């Protein structure tokens, strides 16, 4: 099968197409014919081994798993003997348990993995961009429940996590202020944002508004800069610890004083399988959609990585995977 592989850490050019052995499903696994997968910030971090501690689980000198890609959409090709949840031909979407191996024509996963049937009204490309951004948003927002009626500001509202957070916060009946650049204001409004702020024109930390939760979906703000925009007892939630090195220390300190707190992106103790099923239901009823910026064929994986690293993408970047033998 064809796959995009990387055999050393580095820039986008280290990824290239290669013929690799097709995986064979174990007893409780399914073989999925992948039609679409995303390229995201996590993939770029894995490829560059940044932060450096990624090497502790990716491989110290070179990657142990040479295929990137953590979320996908495709169809069930072959079933292991004990599989009961799916059948051959099912259209499925989900995420891998280790955040890798989806940038390939085929992928093996346990039937107990975060995996669900794609609703009939959703394409492979749309379904591929659903899971990772939404589950990261849920991990950050769900611990702040109940969200109903809370004023939430989402900084970086037009990215993969941000577009998911806007929709999920509205699903939980929050009042949402979305912060993004000029070209994406209409997109975040279409996702349900009650108020939009163009950060190229206005600095939200300098207006008089106060929020119950400020959610930094891109890891580019700091608690110290945002704290005056929080109500007493307010939460500064971050999707990425690595972008603001001080957040782990502030998380510990503010957990003691508790007037205004920093919350880190630790697990919300939810089951990712349940989260995928929640997203399936929301898509089916038209309450959630993945925003797709660009689609690249697998053969242009380097260009896709370059674009993601510009940090200018809106929503998700998708790799489309051809299975035509010609």
CATH of the domain at 183: 3.40.50.720
The answer to whether residue 91 is domain-embedded is yes
The CB density around residue 310, as the number of other CB atoms within 10 Å, is 7
Tokens, residue 265: 């992106």
* Contact call for residues 147 and 112 (beta carbons, < 8 A): no
Query: What would the mean pLDDT of 41-64 be, rounded to a whole number?
Result: 90
Q: Over the stretch 190-202, which tens digit does the pLDDT of each residue have?
A: 999 999 999 999 9
Distance (Å, rounded) from C-alpha 130 to C-alpha 287? 12
Q: Are strands 195-198 and 211-216 parallel, antiparallel or unpaired?
A: unpaired
137 and 255 in a single domain? The answer is yes
19 and 126 in a single domain? The answer is yes
How many structural domains compose the chain? 2
- Is the four-CA dihedral 186, 188, 189, 194 of positive or negative sign? negative
Mean pLDDT for the chain overall: 90
Distance (Å, rounded) from C-alpha 303 to C-alpha 318? 11
36 and 145 in a single domain? The answer is no
Nearest Cα residue to 216 out of 188, 184, 239: 239
Distance (Å, rounded) from C-alpha 231 to C-alpha 282? 31
Tokens, residue 39: 């390229």
69 and 148 in a single domain? The answer is no
The answer to whether residue 237 is domain-embedded is yes
35 and 53 in a single domain? The answer is yes
- For residue 237, what pLDDT is reported? 87
Examine the pLDDT at 232 and tell me if it is beyond 80: yes
Q: Over the stretch 174-187, which tens digit does the pLDDT of each residue have?
A: 999 999 999 999 99
Which residue segment(s) compose the domain that 157 sits in? 133-263
- Answer with the one of 263, 282, 306 that is the final residue of a domain: 263
Examine the pLDDT at 284 and tell me if it is beyond 70: yes
Confidence band (pLDDT; 50, 70, 90) for 265? Answer: low
CATH number at residue 314: 3.90.180.10
Query: What would the mean pLDDT of 214-242 be, rounded to a whole number?
Result: 83
Distance (Å, rounded) from C-alpha 178 to C-alpha 196? 5
List Cβ neighbours of 139 (8 Å cut-off, separation of 6 or more).
265, 266, 267, 268, 270
Cα–Cα distances in Å, from 218 out to 52, 191, 221? Answer: 19, 18, 8
Q: Is 243 exposed, middle or buried (0-12, 13-18, 19+ CB in 10 A)?
A: middle
Distance (Å, rounded) from C-alpha 29 to C-alpha 302? 30
118 and 203 in a single domain? The answer is no
Tokens, residue 163: 């577009």
Confidence band (pLDDT; 50, 70, 90) for 271? Answer: confident
139 and 98 in a single domain? The answer is no
Comparison of pLDDT for 44 and 144, the residue scoring more: 44
The answer to whether residue 147 is domain-embedded is yes
125 and 138 in a single domain? The answer is no
C-alpha 316, offset from chain centre = 8
77 and 99 in a single domain? The answer is yes
Examine the pLDDT at 253 and tell me if it is beyond 80: no
Nearest Cα residue to 97 out of 81, 110, 80, 79: 110
Confidence band (pLDDT; 50, 70, 90) for 252? Answer: very low
The answer to whether residue 281 is domain-embedded is no
52 and 111 in a single domain? The answer is yes
The answer to whether residue 269 is domain-embedded is no
Nearest Cα residue to 297 out of 37, 6, 24, 28: 37
């Amino acid at each position: 099968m064809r796959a995009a592989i990387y055999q050393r850490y580095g820039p986008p050019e280290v990824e290239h197409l290669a013929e690799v052995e097709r995986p064979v499903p174990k007893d409780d696994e399914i073989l999925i014919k992948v039609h679409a997968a995303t390229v995201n910030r996590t993939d770029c971090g894995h490829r560059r081994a940044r932060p450096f501690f990624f090497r502790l689980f990716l491989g110290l000198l070179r990657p142990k798993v040479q295929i990137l890609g953590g979320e996908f959409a495709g169809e069930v090709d072959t079933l292991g003997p004990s599989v009961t949840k799916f059948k051959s031909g099912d259209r499925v979407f989900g995420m891998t348990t280790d955040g890798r191996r989806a940038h390939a024509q085929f992928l093996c996963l346990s039937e107990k993995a975060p995996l669900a049937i794609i609703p009939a009204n959703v394409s492979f490309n749309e379904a591929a961009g659903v899971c990772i951004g939404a589950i990261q948003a849920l991990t950050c927002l769900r611990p702040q429940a109940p969200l109903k009626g809370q004023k939430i500001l989402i900084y970086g509202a037009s990215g993969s996590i941000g577009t998911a957070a806007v929709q999920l916060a509205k699903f939980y009946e929050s009042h949402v202020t979305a912060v993004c650049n000029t070209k994406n204001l209409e997109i975040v409004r279409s996702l349900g944002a009650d108020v939009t702020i163009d950060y190229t024109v206005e600095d939200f930390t300098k207006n008089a508004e106060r929020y119950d939760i400020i959610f930094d979906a891109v890891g580019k703000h700091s608690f110290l800069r945002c704290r005056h925009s929080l109500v007493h007892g307010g939460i500064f939630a971050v999707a990425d610890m690595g972008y603001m090195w001080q957040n782990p220390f502030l998380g510990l300190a503010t957990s003691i004083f508790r007037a205004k707190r920093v919350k880190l992106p630790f697990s919300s103790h939810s089951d990712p399988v349940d989260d995928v099923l929640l997203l399936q239901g929301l898509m089916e009823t038209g309450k959630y959609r993945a925003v797709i910026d660009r689609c690249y064929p697998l053969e242009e994986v380097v260009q896709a990585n370059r674009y993601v690293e510009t940090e200018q993408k809106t929503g998700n970047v998708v790799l489309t995977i051809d299975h035509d033998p010609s």
